[in-house]
Structure 1
Amino acid sequence: MTSMTLPVVSVSSLESYVQAVNAIPMLTPERELELGRKLKDQNDLTAAGDMVMSHLRLVVSVARNYMGYGLPQADLVQEGNIGLMKAVKRFDPERGVRLASFAIHWIKAEIHEYILRNWRLVKVATTKAQRKLFFNLRSMKASSATLSPKEVKQIAKTLNVKESDVVEMESRLQGSDIPLEPTVDDGEESYAPIAYLKDTGETPAEELERTQSENLRTAGLTAALEGLDERSRRIIRARWLNETNPMTLTELADEFGVSAERIRQIEAKAMQKMKVQLAEVR
């Protein structure tokens, strides 16, 4: 299926596209069964192409039902075509179901996903119940007016969702998008959301630079410690890398059986050696 290409749907040629796909004859049940078996048994991509092409008019028909969301019809058709291709790939001709009936689900699913991704900057429907409401609430409302309590109750019962979900979705659908950038008519005293929605955190480049710097320091410290003898490494770790309970010179002197001054000398020598190695890493 990946090697098969569909005609590109552009806004300027949409009318011509619709005329072209409507001119492609639909498959007879016998021919559809034959092509379906070729695709399933032999992975015949030519058969898959014939099945897709003959059902492009179905996509156009389904896409017309979603024109109320302010999105280009050409884009809706293109997304529906992707759903059609997925349906053809999964079609089982032996189940006795026509491809058109089977494909509608996949066509609608792709169009739904496209609408939810693009209709609003912030998604208005994320759960299954919300999606059901999103695509049914408009058609079920008698007018553009706010739903009455009786209408809310009826819609909730019909769609098997909570009344609170109906009220919330209506509020989301009626809410308008707020432009992030100021408009031409805005006065000097007005502020668009972009003014106070700015991310004050690190940019990706700054975060990457910080992470790389931290990794470099960690790697350099590890390498510097590895360059010390065992006693010096133990002293540095106990004195400088033990944040919870660092040891004193006297405690380390007792551990190694030497004077505290000797521990201080070993520590100073080890620190100097590590500074040189860390400078080379940087």
Structure 2
Amino acid sequence: MPTSTLASSTSIAPANPWALVPPLGNLDAYISAVNRLPMLTAEEEQQYARRLKEHNDLDAAGRLVMSHLRLVVSISRQYLGYGLPHGDLIQEGNVGLMKAVKRFDPDQGVRLVSYAMHWIKAEIHEYILKNWRMVKVATTKAQRKLFFNLRSMKQGFKADAGAEGLSPRDTLSEHEIDSVAAQLNVKREDVIEMETRMAGGDVLLDPSPGDDGEQAFGPIAYLADASHEPTSMIESRQRDLLASDGIATALATLDDRSRRIVEERWLKVNDDGSGGMTLHELAAVYGVSAERIRQIEAAAMKKMKKALVEYA
């Protein structure tokens, strides 16, 4: 395009290029609006890219972005199978497009569309990995490659099985695992692990009560380790102290007869595992009634309880 024509088209354009897309709440209206935006020729793209690079011209940056919004819409459609909102995918793709425009070098001899595709896909990939599940399913380069290829490859295996009249499998066979690992140049163990991650779902550790008001059972019930919870550790230490030093201190407050009755009744165990002496056996030892032994025992227990409270 001649320079004069480009200058003319620039002069009649609105000061804010983003005004070409009205703030519509309807996604279909947005897509329709961006598809009506004019595409830039190679000469126009070079002109705007140089203005941005040399003069930091934001108007030129806006025109480069606006002319490629339809590209973001097209790429985002490829990722609708992950169950995330199309509008969010477009939004993240637009972020990648703006990053590409900022870094685009017109002297490299490539069109912006080729350069921007990488940035748009990278931003959408990052969004999917962060939001597809609560727990991130892929962190390493190999895992990312598997995540974005395993779904499509499994669909291909199912289609091949259907064409051969076989029943499609939900899981990969040993041969299919080896095939995926060879094609993507990853370990077969990584394929198995990623398939397991993708087949699983998010589980709430502590589910909220159901409609009937009853507390739902969740992993928190059997995953929690109460033995290392600070409050439980303090309580356990206090119980151990009361069971050793505390009991010894409380017994020291009793007279000889009361202490022996308590020890024989509650603190001694016979070789056969049975308990200590009965009230009647102690009554025979001291020459009193079993009721009197019970009264002495009750008074001793009350005194020991008071001593334990003071010790604690």
What does residue 217 of structure 2 align with? Answer: 191
Give the letter for the 2:170 counterpart.
A
SS at match of 1:109: helix
Return the letter of the residue paired with 1:57.
R
1:119 aligns with 2:119: no
Q: Following the alignment from structure 1 to structure 2, what is the Cα–Cα distance between the partners of residues 196 and 70?
A: 31
**Structure 1 residue identity aligned to 2:173:** S
Cα distance between partner residues in 2 of 1:145 and 1:187: 37
**Contact 2:94/2:120 (<8 A) preserved:** yes
**1:48-70 Cα deviation digits (max 9, x unpaired):** 00000000000011111111111
Q: Is 1:63 matched with 2:51?
A: no
2:182 to 136, 152, 157: 157
Question: What number of residue pairs does the alignment pair up?
Answer: 199
Question: What's the counterpart of residue 137 of structure 1?
Answer: 150
Asked if 2 retains the 8 angstrom alpha-carbon contact of 1:82 and 1:107, the reply is: yes
Provide runs of 4+ in structure 1 moved above 6 Å: 3-10, 197-202
Question: C-alpha root-mean-square deviation of aligned residues, in Å?
Answer: 2.8
The one-letter amino acid paired with 2:35 is N
Task: Answer yes or no: is 1:21 the counterpart of 2:23.
Answer: no
Deviations along 1:19-70, whole A, 9 cap, x unmatched? 0000001111111011111111111110000000000000011111111111
TM-score (norm 1): 0.64
C-alpha distance after superposition, 1:205-246 (max 9, x if no partner): xxxxxxxxxxxxxxxxxxxxxxxxxxxxxxxxxxxxxxxxxx
* Cα drift, residue 184 of structure 1: 3.3
- Amino-acid identity (%): 62
Q: What do the CA deviations read for 1:125-174 (whole angstroms, capped 9, x no partner)?
A: 01000000001100111236211111111111111111110111011111
Q: Given that residues 59 and 77 in structure 1 are in contact (C-alpha distance below 8 angstroms), is that contact kept between their aligned partners in structure 2?
A: yes
| 1:66-215 matches, cutoff 5 A | 66-141=79-154, 142-143=157-158, 145-180=170-205, 181-182=207-208, 184=210, 188=214, 190-193=216-219
How has the CA–CA distance of structure 1 residues 26 and 110 changed in structure 2, closer, same or farther, with 3 Å as cutoff? same
Contact 1:4–1:45 (CA under 8 A) maintained in structure 2: no
Supply the distance in 1 between the matched residues of 2:110 and 2:187 (Cα, whole angstroms).
34
Q: Distance in 2 between matches of 1:186 and 1:173?
A: 32
Other structure's SS at 1:161 match: coil
1:31 is matched with: 44
Alpha-carbon distance between aligned partners in 1 of 2:23 and 2:186, rounded to the nearest angstrom: 37
Rg: which structure is higher?
2
Gaps of 5+ in 1: 203-282
In the alignment, the residues of structure 1 paired with residue 148 and residue 65 of structure 2 have an alpha-carbon distance, to the nearest angstrom, of: 26
TM-score by length of 2: 0.58
In structure 1, C-alpha distance between the alignment counterparts of 2:126 and 2:110, rounded to whole Å: 25
1:80-110 residue CA offsets vs partner (Å, 9 max, x unmatched): 0000000000000111111010001000111
Offset at residue 13 of structure 1 (A):
1.0
Taking the aligned partners of 2:35 and 2:148, their CA distance within structure 1 comes to 27
Structure 1 equivalent of residue 286 of structure 2: none
Return the offset for 1:189. 7.6
The 1:40/1:114 distance shift into structure 2, 3 A limit, reads: same
- Do 1:133 and 1:159's aligned partners in 2 also have CA atoms closer than 8 Å? yes
Gap regions ≥5 residues in structure 2: 1-15, 159-168, 231-312
